[in-house]
Chain A
Amino acid sequence: MLSFLIRRLLQTIPTVLAVVLLVFVLFSVVPGSIVSTMSDDADPQVELRLKKQLGLDDPVYVRFGNYIAQLATGDFGTSFRTREPVTTMIAKRAWPTLQLILTAMAFSVVLGVPLGFVAALRPGGLIDSAAMVLAVSGLSIAKFWLGLVLMYLFALKLGWLPSFGYGDGGLKYLLLPAVTLGVSPMALFARTTRAAVLEIMTADFVRTARSKGMSETRVVKWHVMRNALVIILTTVGLQFGGLMGQAVVVEKLFSWPGIGSLLVDSVLQRDIPAVQGSILVVVLAFLAINLLVDVLYGVIDPRIRYA
Chain B
Amino acid sequence: MFRIVAIVAGLGLALAASAEAQTPRKGGTIRMTAPYGSSFTSLDIHTTQRAQDEIYAKGLHRSLYIWDSAEGKPVPELAKEVIVSGGGLVHTFKLRDDAYFHNGRKMTADDVIWSYNRIMDGSKAYPGARYVRVIEGAAAVEKGQAKEISGLKKIDDFTVEMKLTEKVDPGFYFFTALTSIYPADEAAKEGFIQKPIGLGPFRFVEHVPGSRIVLERWDRFYKPGKPYADKLIVSVMGEAAARDVAFRNKEIDTSVLGPAQYVAYQADPDLKGTIVEVAEVFTRYMGMNPAFKPFADKRVRQAINYAIDTDLIINKLVKGKAYRATSWLPLTSPLYDKTMKPYAFDPAKAKQLLADAGYPTGFEFEWTTSQNESWGLPIVTAVIPMLDKVGIKAKVKQVEAAVLSEVVRSGDYQAFIYSQQTGPDPQAALKCFHSSTPQSACNYMNFRNADFDKMIDEAGQTDDSAKRGQLLQKANALLYEEAPVWFFNYNKAVMAVQPWLKGVQLNATELTHQNVEDLWVDETSPAK
Enumerate chain A interface residues (CB-CB to B < 8 A).
31-33, 35-47, 49-50, 53, 81-84, 89, 92-93, 96, 147-148, 151-152, 155-156, 159, 162-166, 251-258, 261-262, 264-265, 268-270
With A46-B142, A253-B239 as contacts: A261 and B251 at CB distance below 8 Å: no
Asked whether, in the complex, the Cβ of B139 is within 8 Å of the Cβ of A43, the reply is yes
Closest residue of B by beta carbon distance from A150: B245
CB of B235 within 8 A of chain A?
Answer: yes
B165 close to chain A: CB less than 8 A: no
Within 8 A of A (CB), among B217-263: 235-239, 241-242, 245-246, 248-249, 251
Contacts of B44 in A (CB 8 A): 82-83
On whether the beta carbons of A50 and B123 are closer than 8 Å, the reply is: yes
Q: Would A163 and B130 count as touching, CB distance under 8 A?
A: no
Q: For residue B264, which residues in chain A have a CB less than 8 angstroms away from its CB?
A: none
List residues of B (114-139) whose CB comes within 8 Å of A's CBs.
Answer: 122-127, 129-130, 133, 139
Known A-B contacts: A164-B237, A251-B38, A255-B210. Give 8 more (CB < 8 A): A31-B403, A36-B406, A38-B47, A38-B125, A42-B127, A46-B125, A49-B144, A156-B248
Contact check, A252 vs B122: say whether CB atoms are below 8 A apart: no
B-side contacts of A257, CB under 8 Å = 39, 208-211
Is B291 interfacial (CB 8 A cutoff)? Answer: no
B399, closest chain A residue (CB) = A31
A65 and B26 CA atoms in complex are apart in Å by 58
Q: Please measure, in the bound complex, the distance between the C-alpha atom of A74 and the C-alpha atom of B379, giving whole angstroms.
A: 47
B37 with A268: CB separation less than 8 A: yes
Residues of B within 8 A of A (CB): 37-39, 41-42, 44, 47-49, 122-127, 129-130, 133, 139, 142-144, 193, 208-212, 235-239, 241-242, 245-246, 248-249, 251, 399-403, 405-406, 409, 438, 440-442
Do the beta carbons of B442 and A41 come within 8 Å of each other? yes
Q: Which residues of B contact A47 (CB under 8 A)?
A: 125
Q: A31-B406, A46-B142, A264-B38 are in contact. Are A39 and B126 (CB under 8 A)?
A: yes
- Enumerate the 6 nearest inter-chain pairs by beta-carbon distance, A residue then B residue, closest first: A257-B210, A261-B38, A257-B211, A261-B210, A39-B127, A41-B130
Please tell me if the beta carbons of B409 and A268 are within 8 angstroms of each other in the complex.
no
Residues of B within 8 A of A32 (CB): 399-400, 402-403, 406
Residue of B nearest to A35 (CB): B125
Interface pair B245/A252, CB less than 8 Å apart: no
Which chain B residues lie closer than 8 Å to A82 at the CB level? 41-42, 44, 47, 193
The CA-CA distance from A261 to B126 in the complex, in Å, is: 24
Q: How far is the CA of A38 from the CA of B406 in the complex (A)?
A: 11
Instruction: Write 29 A-B pairs (CB below 8 A) sorted by A numbering.
Output: A32-B406, A38-B47, A40-B442, A41-B127, A42-B129, A42-B130, A43-B133, A44-B440, A45-B143, A82-B42, A89-B209, A148-B242, A148-B245, A151-B242, A151-B245, A152-B245, A155-B249, A156-B249, A163-B245, A164-B242, A166-B212, A251-B38, A253-B242, A254-B242, A255-B212, A255-B237, A256-B211, A257-B209, A262-B39
What residue of chain A has the Cβ atom nearest to residue B144's Cβ?
Answer: A49
Q: Is the CB of B49 within 8 A of A92?
A: no
Instruction: Flag if A39 contacts B130 (CB, 8 Å).
Output: yes
Residue on A nearest B122 in the bound complex, by CB = A46
Query: In the complex, are the beta carbons of B39 and A265 less than 8 A apart?
Result: yes
Q: How far is the CA of A96 from the CA of B212 in the complex (A)?
A: 14
Chain B minimum-CB-distance residue to A79 = B42
For B130, what are the chain A residues with a Cβ–Cβ distance below 8 Å? 39-42
Cα distance, A165 to B245, chains bound together (Å): 13
B173 to chain A, nearest CB (A): 12
Contacts of B405 in A (CB 8 A): 36-37, 40
CA distance A228 to B42 in the complex (A): 49
- Contact present for A39 and B129 (CB under 8 Å): yes
| Chain B min CB distance to A232 (Å) | 33
Q: Please, how many angstroms separate the alpha-carbon atoms of A44 and B438 in the complex? A: 10
Docked pose: A252 CA to B37 CA in angstroms? 9
Give the chain A neighbours of B143 by CB distance below 8 A: 43, 45-46
Distance (whole angstroms) from the CB of A174 to the closest CB of chain B: 13
Question: In the complex the two chains form, is A270's CB within 8 Å of B127's CB?
Answer: no
Whether A49 lies near B123 (C-beta < 8 A) is yes
Q: How far is the CA of A254 from the CA of B236 in the complex (A)?
A: 9
A49 vs B246: C-alpha distance when bound (angstroms):
44
- Distance, CA A37 to CA B442, complexed state (A): 15
Docked complex Cα distance between A38 and B401 (Å) = 13
Give Cα A36–Cα B127 distance, bound, in whole angstroms. Answer: 10
Q: How many angstroms between the C-alpha atoms of A162 and B526 in the bound complex?
A: 13
> Which of chain B's residues have a CB closer than 8 A to the CB of A255?
210-212, 235-238, 242
